[in-house]
Amino acid sequence: MHAKATNAVKDNDTSALNLSSGINYLDLVATRHRESLTGAPISFADIQALDNTAGARS
């Protein structure tokens, strides 16, 4: 957040309350999420196999 917007309440400056940085943070998060998806179906058998191998190492 921009420093001017952070200090707006302390400065009693109402012009900075709706200040926008121009960065669409929600879009950045959504894009990162979409890029991290593999598109592969969930395989509960693979999860079970991973649990069994992890137990064998302990």
Q: What is the pLDDT of residues 2-58, one digit of tens each?
A: 776 666 666 666 665 666 788 899 999 999 998 888 788 878 888 887 777 665 555
Which single residue is written with the structure tokens 């302390």?
10
H helices of the chain, where?
3-6, 8-11, 25-36, 44-57
Predicted local confidence at residue 42, as pLDDT: 79
pLDDT of 13: 61
